[in-house]
Amino acid sequence: MPSFRISRTVRHSPEQMYDLVADVERYPEFLPLCESLRVLRRQPGPGEGVEILVAEMAVGYKAIRERFTTRVTLDRSALKITAEYIDGPFRHLENRWAFKPGPNGGCSIDFFITYEFKSFALGLLMGKMFDKAFRKFTDAFESRADRVYGAAA
């Protein structure tokens, strides 16, 4: 099963980076492959500062378009976000974000994703493109943070 993990330090605070990743409705503005994202349901989760979203994302590359639904757990108190697969072209999809204080007021980000397509053919068509896009995710969020919060001097 393909998976990808990256850890990196950025100049923005853990709270700022958490807020950017938690703002899922904005993903189509800057995230590679994301054409649309709709929050279908939003409810309080178990525990203080926890919210559960059910969201549908449409992704596309050239002539290929797919939609999938995930359950997203936003845990502000722990500065963690997880997404678990509900429906769509995958057999399995899970991703996790964790944000911790880094040096000089910055943030250490840990991003992990694992996935497997239901269809072998779709996996062949989209697998390399997904892998390439996932490798650009943290760059996309850091660039977005620079635009929203300002780049460091």
pLDDT tens for each residue of 4-42: 898 999 999 999 999 999 999 999 999 988 999 999 999
Q: Is residue 76 pLDDT above 50, yes or no? A: yes
Average pLDDT, the chain: 89
The residue among 3, 27, 7, 1 whose CA lies nearest residue 131 is: 3
Give the model's confidence band at 80: pLDDT under 50 very low, under 70 low, under 90 confident, else very high. Answer: very high
Length of the chain: 153
Q: What is the pLDDT of residue 122?
A: 72
Tens of pLDDT along 88-146?
988 999 999 999 999 888 999 999 999 888 888 777 767 677 777 777 787 899 899 99
Q: Find the mean pLDDT for residues 42-66.
A: 90
Task: Give the three-state DSSP class for 33.
Answer: coil
Calpha distance 70→9 (Å, rounded)? 27
pLDDT-based confidence at 153, cuts 50/70/90? Answer: very low
Question: Does the pLDDT value for residue 152 go beyond 70?
Answer: no
Give the CATH number of the domain where residue 138 resides.
3.30.530.20
* Count of domains forming the chain: 1
Res 82 pLDDT > 60: yes
| C-alpha–C-alpha distance, residues 131 and 141, integer Å | 16
pLDDT for the residue numbered 55: 97
Which residues span the domain enclosing 84? 3-149
CB 7 within 8 A of CB 103: no
Q: Is the pLDDT of residue 79 over 90?
A: yes
Beta strand ranges found along the chain (DSSP E): 3-10, 34-44, 50-61, 64-75, 80-87, 90-101, 107-117
For the entire predicted model, the pTM comes to 0.89
- Angle at CA of residue 95, ends 108 and 138, nearest 5°: 40
